[in-house]
């Protein structure tokens, strides 16, 4: 899709569809009113007829609007004017893009961007509009022999602003929104690809591709092979790879585009490209969804794409622990004891609790960067889905300020997280009679004990853990990756860049 921003009044330019808003109680927004004047009252008549009452999420398509150069006008319900905030704005955008993509229009001119929404800036509104336009046009058709003929979407989008002075803000917003949209799309693609295509080697190739594409920003990649990991002593990571014929990869992405002396933020992604559970085999039903178990890794790659495209002035390192979790003759068995890279020994009581086994060695590897903060992202526990469902990501942290910073980024990006407990008392559940501790803590508070396990490898830095098991993908008819939490992570880095 092609994008542009423009200071333009509605209805004057040739376009497939002009998009304007209507508040509840049938009040036209400023651009709808301007369009109505041009069209000699055609729009207000349509609204008065009762076909559009302005309720949030509703739309009405008008054709043959007199005195205008556009083929169509799409009216979008905005809800109540006095409660029209950022959330309502996003809801209106989603409805608008859904409706315009269902028409035959090839291009559109969006005027909702010039609405005042809560405390938002023009830059934020344009960024959200660009990112949501990309989201709503997203299709995953790489594996279909021919594209879906019914899946239409506009090809060009103009994002309008009402004041000439908004130009700079709108342009910056467009850059950020496009970069974010592209980052989210990459994360979705990687999640949606099947396990036989998106292997650890494929993730490594994607990282190499990013480093090549954004080389001018200083993005670099290094891929550690099995032998390299053996030399480093990443034995818990390798214990997960033991049952698989697919070679594991440890991917190191470096993007050092911020102030020279600034310590980097390290993002650590769980990259299990398929999780069978290993010898503690999962039940068969719905097991296909375990191709999404690399979503943490996908979100790291998506975030690198976004910050690279924005040329964001920050220092970030991405670490991806990529392997399959398979049963096999050489697979790790329940009861096996492995010495992690940190030197701590782990009794593996369940081979299906493999995410923490690959992440713990990655966290130890992160120490070498003396990071300002480490955030790991993982589809870690079914228990997190039980606790929080599919709305918010579970957030755990060993530092309250960092936790608040992550929560705030989620709020701004509308990609929310919820702070979960990490009290010492929970650590007792990991007790082992044979090793330093076990890799599972029983049924109670499963998401918390998983985070407790990770915390034992995060003592040397400020650390936050995002359990995205409930938010990284959708099941059922809409089955597919959501690209979360790329918006949260990207916003976290934007906010850090703004502060320094
Ligand atoms: N990848 C799964 C977690 C998961 C399960 C995410 C279902 C989304 C939906 C993880 O590796 C896993 O299997 N966790 C186990 C841990 C248990 C054995 C302590 C789980 O949640 O059942
Ligand atoms: Mn598992
Ligand atoms: Zn898993």
The angle formed by the CA atoms of residues 433, 437 and 438, to the nearest 5 degrees, is 90
**Any ligand 1 atom below 6 A from CB of 206:** no
Residues 72, 125, 270, 356: which is the catalytic one? 356
At 405 the pLDDT is 98
Q: Which atom of ligand 1 is nearest to the CA of 293?
A: 1
Give the pLDDT confidence of 161-175 residue by residue, as tens digits.
Answer: 999 999 999 999 999
At 149 the pLDDT is 79
At 45 the pLDDT is 96
**Any ligand 1 atom below 6 A from CB of 187:** no
DSSP state of 98: H
Residues 152, 172, 282, 333: which is the catalytic one? 282
Domain limits, CATH 3.40.630.10, in the chain? 181-499
Closest CA to 298 of 497, 480, 496: 480
Q: Kindly give the pairing relationship between strand 393-397 and strand 463-467.
A: antiparallel
Among the four given CATH numbers 3.20.20.70, 3.10.580.10, 3.40.50.300, 3.40.630.10, the one describing domain 181-499: 3.40.630.10
The angle formed by the CA atoms of residues 341, 325 and 457, to the nearest 5 degrees, is 25
Among the four given CATH numbers 3.30.1010.10, 2.60.40.2580, 3.40.220.10, 1.20.1640.10, the one describing domain 2-156: 3.40.220.10
Residue 263 near residue 238, CB atoms below 8 Å: no
**How many C-beta atoms lie closer than 10 Å to residue 213's C-beta?**
13
User: Closest Cα to atom 9, ligand 1: which residue?
Assistant: 382
Ligand nearest to the backbone CA of 289: 1
- Listed as ranges, residues in the chain with pLDDT below 70 are none
Known catalytic residue: 260?
Answer: no
- Tokens 């918390």 map to which residue? 448
**Any ligand 1 atom below 6 A from CB of 353:** yes
DSSP secondary structure letters along 239-281? HHHTT-SSPPEEEEEEEE-S-TTPPPEEEEEEEEEEE--TTSP
At 500 the pLDDT is 84
Ligand 1 mutation target, pool 280, 352, 449, 468, most atoms within 8 A of CB: 352
- C-alpha pair distances (Å), 468 with each of 58, 200, 329, 484: 31, 20, 31, 8
Ligand nearest to the backbone CA of 448: 1
At 176 the pLDDT is 98
CA of 212 from ligand 3 middle (Å) equals 30
Compute the distance between CA of residue 158 and CA of residue 30 in angstroms, rounded to an integer.
Answer: 18
Beta strands in 177-248 (DSSP E): 219-224
Residue 463 near residue 397, CB atoms below 8 Å: yes
Number of H helices, E strands in the chain: 14, 20
At 148 the pLDDT is 85
Domain limits, CATH 3.40.220.10, in the chain? 2-156
User: Closest Cα to atom 5, ligand 1: which residue?
Assistant: 382
- Tokens 């034995």 map to which residue? 235
Known catalytic residue: 282?
Answer: yes
Query: Which tokens sit at 159?
Result: 């994002």
Cα first-last separation, the chain:
33
**Any ligand 1 atom below 6 A from CB of 361:** no
At 271 the pLDDT is 99
φ/ψ of residue 448, rounded to 5: -70, -45
């Amino acid at each position: 899709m092609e994008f542009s921003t423009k200071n333009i009044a509605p209805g004057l330019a040739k376009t497939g569809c002009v998009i304007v808003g209507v508040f509840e109680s049938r009040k036209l927004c400023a651009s709808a009113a301007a369009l109505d004047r041009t069209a000699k009252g055609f729009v207000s008549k349509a609204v008065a007829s009762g076909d559009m009452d302005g309720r949030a999420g509703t739309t009405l398509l008008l054709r043959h609007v007199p005195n205008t150069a556009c083929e169509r006008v799409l009216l979008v319900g905005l809800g109540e004017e006095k409660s029209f905030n950022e959330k309502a704005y996003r809801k209106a955008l989603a409805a608008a893009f859904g409706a315009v993509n269902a028409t035959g229009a090839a291009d559109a001119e969006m005027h909702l961007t010039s609405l005042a929404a809560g405390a938002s800036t023009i830059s934020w509104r344009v960024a959200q509009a660009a990112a949501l336009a990309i989201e709503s046009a997203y299709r995953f058709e790489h594996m279909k022999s021919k594209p879906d003929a019914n899946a239409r979407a506009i090809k060009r989008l103009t994002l309008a602003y009402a004041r000439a002075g908004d130009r700079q803000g709108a342009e910056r917003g467009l850059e950020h929104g496009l970069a974010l949209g592209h980052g989210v799309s990459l994360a979705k693609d990687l999640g949606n690809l099947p396990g036989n295509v998106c292997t650890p080697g494929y993730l490594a190739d994607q990282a190499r591709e990013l480093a090549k594409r954004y080389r001018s920003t200083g993005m670099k990649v290094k891929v550690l092979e099995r032998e390299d990991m053996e030399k480093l002593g990443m034995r818990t990571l390798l214990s997960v790879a033991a049952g698989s014929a697919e070679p594991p990869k440890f991917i190191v992405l470096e993007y050092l585009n911020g102030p020279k002396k600034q310590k980097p933020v390290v993002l650590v992604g769980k990259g299990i490209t398929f999780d069978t559970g290993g010898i503690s085999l999962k039940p068969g039903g719905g097991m296909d969804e375990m191709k999404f178990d690399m979503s943490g890794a996908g979100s790291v790659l998506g975030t690198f794409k976004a910050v690279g495209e924005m040329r964001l002035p920050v220092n970030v390192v991405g670490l991806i622990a990529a392997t399959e979790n398979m049963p096999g003759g050489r697979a790790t068995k329940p009861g096996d004891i492995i010495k992690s890279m940190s030197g701590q020994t782990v009794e593996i009581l369940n081979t299906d609790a493999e995410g923490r086994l690959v992440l713990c060695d990655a966290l130890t590897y992160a120490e070498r960067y003396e990071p300002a903060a480490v955030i790991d992202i993982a589809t870690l526990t079914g228990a997190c889905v039980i606790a929080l469902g599919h709305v918010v990501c579970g957030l755990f942290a060993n530092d309250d300020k960092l936790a608040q910073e992550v929560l705030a980024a989620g709020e701004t990006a509308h990609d929310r997280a919820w702070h979960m407990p990490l009290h010492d008392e929970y650590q007792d559940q990991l007790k082992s009679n044979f090793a330093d501790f076990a890799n599972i803590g029983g049924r109670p508070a499963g998401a918390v004990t998983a985070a407790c396990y990770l915390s034992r490898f995060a003592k040397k830095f400020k650390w936050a853990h995002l359990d995205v098991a409930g938010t990284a993908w959708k099941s059922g008819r809409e089955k597919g990756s959501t690209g979360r939490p790329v918006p949260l992570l990207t916003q976290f880095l934007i906010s850090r860049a703004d502060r320094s």
